[in-house]
């Protein structure tokens, strides 16, 4: 019996493939639960996010005399779009 045969036999004896499969399944479930929780938090805090963005944008506009107003507007739109994508990850409200 070669070393590789012994190694394969030991792996089968220890059910390494089964353990690896269960670990993958658990990781997938944990990732799904995390996405759902992040979606819930994004939905629950949408108003806070927008309020902070508005406040930060106003402060930057004031300090830069509007020099970056267009960039600030784009950044706020991108963050809002990101919040929308995160919100879509929450469990269906059926």
pLDDT tens digits for range 54-91: 999 999 999 999 999 999 999 999 999 999 998 888 88
Taking a C-beta distance cutoff of 8 angstroms, is the pair 80, 48 a contact? no
Q: Does 61 reside within a domain?
A: yes
> In the chain, how many domains are there?
1
Alpha-carbon span 70 to 91, nearest angstrom: 35
Q: What residue numbers bound the domain in which 54 lies? A: 3-87
Contacts of 69 (CB under 8 A, 6+ apart): 61
In a domain, 92, yes or no: no
**pTM more than 0.75:** no
């Amino acid at each position: 019996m070669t070393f590789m045969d012994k190694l394969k036999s030991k792996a089968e004896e220890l059910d390494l493939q089964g353990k690896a499969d269960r670990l993958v399944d658990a990781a997938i479930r944990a990732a799904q639960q995390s996405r759902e929780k992040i979606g819930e938090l994004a939905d629950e805090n949408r108003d806070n996010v927008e309020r902070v963005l508005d406040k930060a944008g106003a402060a930057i506009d004031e300090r830069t005399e509007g020099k970056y107003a267009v960039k600030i507007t784009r950044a706020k739109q991108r963050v809002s779009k990101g919040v929308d994508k995160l919100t879509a990850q929450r469990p269906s409200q059926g």
